[in-house]
């Protein structure tokens, strides 16, 4: 254990005190010893002088008896061990010995020539009694110093004992006093230890004295104050850094709009889920969700509304899933979902259907009721693929298949989809060049009014003659063009071609003919669409009355608001609006009444079965009646047989488009068809009515 300052100080004090006492004692003892001996010697000399005086007459008269009697008086002085009156001849006139034993007299030999002497145990004096020089009679006295020495020893021992007692007392006193001095230091030390252990920089030392320790405590407190300030700012800086780091982490892994995990997080989790699925033998699935026609909403109502829509979609997807499932936003209108621990495939189907249902719920955005939908592709691990990248790619391909199958639905991946998705990529990359290279052509499918027996119009349908892939159906390339944004360019080109063509037919005398052009939702999304249409009409010198624009019912239903305003504007300019694929978009009668359309085109899917399916006939009849009641022109498309025409006429429909009358054909063949049809229409009508 480390020694305390108090104990160190006490030790120092003790050593100093011991040394001081020792030397002081030693000096005083030596002095006392020397002094006592000197006094004893002086007394002996005085005694010798007095005795010499008393012996003077005895010496004068050589009276040895008197001399002896005088010397014997020395027995009263126990220290005097020997005395003798020595004649000049060296003989003793008289002598005295305190102790007769030879041992007692051993040191009594005296050297007269030496005179007075001072030894350790004895001292002696030589005093002349009579005469001088060598003829002098002298008194010799030797006294013992033993008693004195003993006394001195006793005094030294007593002094030592007293010194020890003093030292002990001094030690106690020192240790008390040094405690008093070092207590502030101890307090300071304990504060320092507390601060060190707890990192508590709010702690302060007590300033109890105004000496150096007090100054030290004040300095220590000032240092703690500075540390506390530094520590507080350090902590807040660290907090701020931590917060920023968390924010950065969040930004790196979470999407700012929907607050859902982002693409990076998704890829990390997907790897883990696939590995876990493979390790445990559990099936897991990746769902690729893409919103249908999101771009239109984004462009029509602005990005703010688009963001709200994405947030709603994120919330709906999350709420429709199980606790452990993960929804991520990959970007744009694409979401991905990881479904783990699927017991069997039947568990997935209701889950996805619930997602589609949830997405299709109407929502109110910017004071408009909007219906959005989503297309979902699903790929399973390990059934479809056993690595994350392929799994996601397959789910993506399945999603495109769902889109191609009319959107607002889902598809599970199958191998054919790989070639389809490869084909999609090929088409996407070659479309622009294809249009520039003249690989696209517009075909026209005649539209017949059996009431007047006339070809009243044609529908312009794009065709792509690919140099290697051959004829590519618009069912394939239109969705691709819509996705990659090429549809605007293609749509404009078709519109321009159709307008030029109709002007030519009018010039050729077919003045009753109208041309219907399909408009994609992506085209409607552009605020300047109406202006572009008007520009093309002006550029081609085509009257607005000859033009009809076909918009599919589902698009109109889902993207009301601005799209409708746009169509209203176009209709007011004289362009007719036609609702394409009617029956597939579930518009209500109330909505239909307010739509800026003057024509309904009943979808082929209803017409297909009317000869065999009574409910399809009933539905088609109801739709025709509805159109007639609302004073809209009703046309059925996809009519392929005489039976269908007969039933549709009975249901009240007079206008037809379908292979039964004509397939879409190049522009050059249209005039011939019209001519032949007008010549034969009476017979055709007769065949139908009979
Ligand atoms: P749609 O607008 O409903 O066009 C009618 C489709 O039905 C055309 O297919 C037409 O050839 C086909 N059709 C007509 N009568 C019959 C029939 O009796 N039987 C059968 N089986 N089919 C018949 P097509 O030309 O393949 O076009 C498919 C779709 O592609 C069109 O459906 C339209 O939505 C879209 N489309 C075609 N060209 C364009 C275009 O220039 N722009 C846009 N936005 N879409 C286009
Ligand atoms: Mg159409
Ligand atoms: Mg159609």
Ligand of minimum distance to the alpha carbon of 584: 3
> Which of 107-116, 538-547, 606-615 shows the lowest mean pLDDT across its residues?
107-116
Core vs surface per residue 41-58: b (16+ CB within 10 A) or e:
beebbebbeebbebbeeb
Q: DSSP labels for 170-217?
A: HHHHHHHHHHHHHHHHHHHHHHHHHHHHH--TT-------SSHHHHHH
CATH topology of domain 254-413: Alpha-Beta Plaits (3.30.70)
> Would the pLDDT of 488 be above 90?
yes
Residue nearest to atom 30 of ligand 1 (CA): 474
- What is the side-by-side strand order in the sheet with 334-342? 326-331, 334-342, 283-292, 373-381, 410-412
The dihedral built from the CA positions of residue 107, 110, 114 and 116, taken in this order, carries a sign that is: positive
DSSP state of 409: S
Mutate to test the pocket of ligand 1, among 518, 547, 577, 603 (most ligand atoms within 8 A of CB): 518
φ and ψ at residue 454, rounded to 5 degrees: -120, 155
Q: How far is the centre of ligand 2, averaged over its atoms, from the C-alpha of 17 (Å)? A: 120
The number of beta carbons lying within 10 Å of the beta carbon of residue 413 is 28
Please work out, in degrees rounded to the nearest 5, the angle formed at the alpha carbon of residue 24 by the alpha carbons of 20 and 28. Answer: 175
pLDDT higher than threshold 90 for residue 422: no
Q: Quick check: helix, strand or coil at residue 578?
A: strand
Least confident of 302-311, 432-441, 455-464: 302-311
Whose alpha carbon is nearest atom 12 of ligand 1?
Answer: 638
CA–CA distance, 209 with 276 (Å, rounded to integer):
70
How does pLDDT run across 191-203, given as a tens digit for each residue? Answer: 888 888 888 888 8
**Which ligand minimizes its atom distance to the CA of 462?**
1
Q: By alpha-carbon position, which residue is closest to atom 34 of ligand 1?
A: 518
- Ligand 1 site residues (CB inside 6 A) read 445, 461-462, 473-475, 478, 491, 494, 518-520, 550, 580-581, 637-640, 657-659, 664
What gap in Å lies between CA 496 and CA 490, rounded to an integer? 10
Q: How far apart are CA 182 and CA 211, in angstroms?
A: 12
Q: Residue 547, exposed/middle/buried by CB under 10 A (0-12, 13-18, 19+)? A: buried
- CA 53-55-59 angle, to 5 degrees, is 125
* % of the chain residues with pLDDT over 90: 49
Tell me if 59 sits within 8 A of 138, measured CB to CB.
no
Beta-carbon contacts of residue 50 (< 8 Å; ≥ 6 apart): none
- What's the mean pLDDT in 160-174? 86
Give residue 603 CA to ligand 3 midpoint distance, Å.
6
Give the number of whichever ligand sits closest to the CA of residue 478: 1
pLDDT at 343: 77
Is the confidence at residue 559, as pLDDT, over 90?
no
CA neighbor of 487 nearest in space, from 311, 293, 651: 293
Q: Whose CA is nearest to atom 2 of ligand 1?
A: 518
In angstroms, the Cα distances linking 53 to 65, 120, 128, 141, 412 are: 16, 29, 10, 14, 154
Which one of 403, 465, 474 would you pick to mutate in the ligand 1 pocket, going by the greatest count of ligand atoms within 8 A of its CB?
474
Q: For residue 661, give the ligand nearest its CA.
A: 1
3-state helix, strand, coil in the chain (%, to 5): 60, 20, 25
Measured in degrees and rounded to the nearest 5, phi and psi for residue 85 equal -105, 110
CA-443 nearest atom, ligand 1: 25
- Look at ligand 1, atom 8, and give the residue with the nearest C-alpha: 461
Answer yes or no: are the C-beta atoms of 482 and 521 closer than 8 Å. yes
- Measured from the alpha carbon of residue 582, the closest ligand is 3
> Residues, the chain, total?
690
pLDDT value of residue 690: 55
* Two structure tokens written together for 485: 């944004």
- Mutating to test ligand 1, I would choose from 445, 461, 600 the residue with most ligand atoms within 8 A of its C-beta, which is 461
d(CA 683, ligand 2 centre) in Å:
28
Measured CA to CA, the distance from residue 97 to residue 312 in angstroms comes to 138
Contact 83, 95 (CB under 8 A): yes
Q: Which pLDDT value is given to residue 276?
A: 94
Residue 462, token pair as written in the block = 């794009």
Q: How large is the average pLDDT for residues 173-185?
A: 80
Q: Atom 45 of ligand 1 has which residue's CA nearest to it?
A: 518
Q: Are 539 and 570 in contact (CB under 8 A)?
A: no
Q: What is the DSSP secondary structure assignment for residue 561, as one 8-state letter?
A: T
Question: 225 C-alpha vs ligand 1 centroid, how far in Å?
Answer: 83
Cα–Cα dist 163/150, whole Å: 20
pLDDT digits (tens, 9 = 90+) for 6-15: 778 778 878 8
In the reported structure, the alpha carbon of residue 298 is separated from the centroid of ligand 1 by a whole-number distance in angstroms of 27
CATH number for the domain running over 425-689: 3.20.20.450
Instruction: With a cut of 90, say whether residue 24 has pLDDT above it.
Output: no
Which residue's alpha carbon is nearest to atom 6 within ligand 1?
638
What pLDDT, in 10s, does the model give residues 329-375? 999 999 999 999 887 778 899 999 999 999 999 888 877 778 889 99
Closest atom of ligand 1 to 487 CA is: 44
pLDDT-derived band of residue 135, with 50, 70 and 90 as boundaries?
confident
Find the helix packing angle between 642-650 and 614-629, rounded to 10°: 50
Calpha distance 426→420 (Å, rounded):
10
Average confidence score pLDDT of the chain: 89
Place of tokens 């008693």: 147
Residue 163 has pLDDT above 80, yes or no: yes
Q: Which ligand 1 atom sits nearest the alpha carbon of residue 474?
A: 30
Looking from the CA of residue 552, the nearest atom of ligand 1 is 34
Which residue's CA is the nearest one to ligand 1's atom 20? 638
Distance CA 109, CA 120 (A): 15
Cβ neighbours of residue 66 closer than 8 Å, sequence gap 6 or more: 57, 58
What the block records as the tokens of 142 is 């030797």
Q: Where are the alpha helices (DSSP H) in 289-378?
A: 294-301, 303-320, 348-359
The bound ligand whose nearest atom lies closest to the alpha carbon of 585 is 3
Q: Rounded CA gap, 500 and 485, in Å?
A: 24
**Nearest listed ligand to the Cα of residue 602:** 3
Q: Tokens 């009018």 belong to which residue?
A: 506
The span from the first CA to the last CA of the chain, in angstroms, equals 124
Q: What is the pLDDT of residue 108?
A: 53
210 alpha carbon – ligand 2 mean position (Å): 101
Strands 334-342 and 547-552: unpaired
Q: How far is the CA of 670 from the centre of ligand 3 (A)?
A: 20
Res 109: pLDDT: 59
Q: What is the number of the ligand 1 atom nearest to the C-alpha of 601?
A: 3
CA nearest ligand 1 atom 43, residue: 518
Query: Using an 8 Å Cβ cutoff, are 501 and 508 in contact?
Result: no
CA nearest neighbour of 619 among 636, 632, 631? 636
Pick 210 or 472 by higher pLDDT. 472
As beta bridge partners, residue 326 has: 338
Q: Are 513 and 460 in contact (CB under 8 A)?
A: no
User: Could you tell me the pTM of the whole model?
Assistant: 0.60
Nearest Cα residue to atom 35 of ligand 1: 474
- Residue 146, pLDDT above cutoff 60: yes
Q: In a 10 Å sphere around its CB, with 0-12 CB exposed, 13-18 middle and 19+ buried, how is residue 184 labelled?
A: buried
Q: Alpha carbon 336 to chain centroid distance?
A: 24
The pLDDT of 132-137, averaged and rounded, is: 81
Distance 518 CA to ligand 1 centre (A): 9
Nearest C-alpha to atom 37 of ligand 1 is from which residue? 461
Q: Which of 562, 564, 570 is nearest to 302 (CA)?
A: 562
Q: Can you tell me the distance from the alpha carbon of 573 to that of 576, in angstroms, rounded to the nearest whole number? A: 9
Provide the pLDDT for residue 491: 97
What pLDDT score does 409 carry? 94
> Rounded to whole angstroms, how far apart are CA atoms 266 and 359?
21
Confidence of residue 326 (pLDDT cuts 50, 70, 90): very high
CA of 577 to the centre of ligand 2 (A): 11
Residue nearest to atom 3 of ligand 1 (CA): 581
Mean pLDDT of all residues in 473-498:
94
Q: Where are the domains of the chain?
A: 5-152, 201-253, 254-413, 425-689
Whether residue 583 contacts residue 563, with contact meaning beta carbons closer than 8 Å, is answered with no
pLDDT for residue 503: 98
Tell how far the Cα of 605 is from the centroid of ligand 3, in angstroms.
9
Determine the atom of ligand 1 nearest the C-alpha atom of 550: 2
Its CATH architecture, for the domain 5-152, is 2-Layer Sandwich (3.30)
Q: Residue 637 C-alpha to ligand 3 middle, in angstroms?
A: 7
Q: Is residue 278 predicted with pLDDT exceeding 90?
A: yes
**Rounded to the nearest whole angstrom, what is the distance from the C-alpha of residue 542 to the centroid of ligand 3?**
24
User: Residue 516 CA: which ligand is closest?
Assistant: 2
pLDDT for the residue 212:
83
Going by alpha carbons, the residue nearest to atom 23 of ligand 1 is 638
Please tell me whether residue 9 adopts helix, strand or coil conformation: helix
Please work out, in degrees rounded to the nearest 5, the angle formed at the alpha carbon of residue 379 by the alpha carbons of 374 and 383. 160
Distance CA 536, CA 538 (A): 5
The token duo for 423 is 């084909």
pLDDT at site 110 = 59
DSSP 555: H
39: left (phi over 0), alpha (psi -120 to 50) or beta: alpha
3-class DSSP state of 584:
coil
Express as a percent the part of the chain with pLDDT over 70. 96
* Cα–Cα dist 314/478, whole Å: 28
């Amino acid at each position: 254990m480390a020694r305390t300052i108090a104990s160190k100080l006490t030790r120092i004090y003790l050593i100093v005190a011991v040394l001081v006492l020792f030397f002081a004692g030693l000096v005083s003892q030596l002095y006392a010893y020397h002094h006592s001996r000197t006094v004893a010697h002086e007394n002996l000399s005085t005694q010798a002088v007095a005795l010499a005086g008393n012996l003077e007459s005895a010496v004068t008269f050589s009276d040895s008896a008197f001399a002896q009697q005088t010397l014997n008086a020395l027995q009263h002085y126990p220290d005097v061990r020997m005395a003798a009156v020595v004649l000049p001849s060296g003989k003793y006139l008289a002598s005295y010995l305190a102790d007769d034993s030879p041992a007692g007299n051993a040191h009594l030999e005296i050297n007269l020539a030496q005179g007075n002497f001072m030894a350790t145990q004895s001292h002696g004096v030589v005093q002349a009694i009579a005469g001088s020089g060598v003829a002098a009679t002298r008194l010799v006295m030797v006294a013992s110093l033993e008693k004195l020495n003993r006394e001195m020893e006793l005094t030294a021992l007593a002094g030592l004992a007293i010194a020890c007692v003093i030292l002990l007392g001094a030690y106690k006193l020192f240790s008390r006093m040094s405690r008093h001095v070092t207590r502030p230091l101890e307090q300071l030390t304990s504060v320092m230890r507390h601060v060190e252990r707890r990192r508590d920089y709010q702690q302060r030392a007590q300033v109890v004295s105004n000496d150096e320790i007090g100054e030290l405590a004040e300095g220590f407190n000032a240092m703690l104050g500075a540390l506390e300030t530094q520590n507080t700012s350090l902590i807040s800086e660290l907090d701020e850094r931590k917060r920023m780091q968390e924010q950065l982490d969040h930004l790196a892994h979470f999407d700012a709009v929907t607050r859902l995990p982002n693409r990076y997080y998704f890829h990390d989790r997907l790897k883990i889920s696939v590995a876990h699925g493979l390790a445990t033998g559990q099936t897991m699935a990746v769902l690729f969700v893409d919103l249908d026609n999101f771009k239109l909403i984004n462009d029509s109502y602005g990005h703010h509304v688009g963001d709200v829509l994405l947030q709603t979609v994120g919330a709906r997807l999350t709420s429709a899933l199980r606790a452990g499932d993960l929804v991520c936003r990959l970007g744009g209108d694409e979401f991905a979902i990881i479904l783990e621990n699927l017991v069997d495939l039947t568990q997935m189907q209701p889950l996805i259907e619930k997602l589609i249902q949830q997405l299709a719920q109407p929502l109110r955005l910017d004071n408009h009721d909007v219906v959005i939908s989503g297309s979902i592709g699903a790929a399973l691990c390990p059934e479809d693929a056993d690595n994350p990248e392929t799994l996601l790619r397959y789910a993506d391909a399945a999603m495109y298949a769902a889109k191609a199958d009319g959107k607002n639905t889902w598809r599970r991946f199958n191998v054919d989809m790989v070639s389809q998705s490869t084909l999609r990529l090929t088409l996407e990359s070659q479309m622009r060049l294809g249009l520039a290279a003249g690989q696209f052509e517009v075909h026209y499918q005649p539209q017949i009014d059996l009431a007047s027996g006339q070809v009243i119009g044609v529908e312009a349908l794009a065709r792509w003659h690919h140099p290697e892939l051959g004829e590519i159906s618009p069912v394939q390339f239109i969705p691709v063009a819509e996705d990659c944004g090429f549809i605007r360019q293609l749509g404009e080109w078709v519109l321009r071609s159709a307008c030029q063509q109709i002007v030519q037919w009018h010039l050729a005398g077919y003045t009753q003919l109208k041309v219907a052009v399909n408009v994609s939702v992506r085209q409607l999304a552009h605020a300047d669409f109406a202006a572009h249409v008007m520009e093309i009409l002006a550029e081609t010198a085509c009257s607005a009355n000859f033009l009809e624009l076909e918009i599919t019912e589902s698009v109109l239903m889902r993207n009301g608001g601005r799209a409708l305003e746009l169509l209203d504007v176009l209709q007011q300019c004289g362009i007719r609006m036609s609702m394409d694929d009617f029956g597939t978009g579930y518009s209500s009668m109330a909505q239909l009444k307010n739509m800026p359309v003057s024509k309904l085109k009943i979808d082929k899917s209803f017409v297909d079965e009317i000869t065999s399916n009574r409910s399809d006939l009933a539905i088609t009849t109801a739709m025709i009646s509805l159109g007639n009641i609302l004073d809209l022109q009703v046309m059925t498309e996809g009519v392929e047989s005489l039976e269908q025409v007969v039933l549709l006429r009975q249901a009240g429909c007079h206008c037809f488009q379908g292979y039964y009358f004509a397939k879409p054909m190049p522009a050059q063949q249209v005039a011939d068809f019209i001519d032949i049809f007008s010549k034969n229409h009476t017979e055709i009508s007769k065949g139908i009515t009979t």
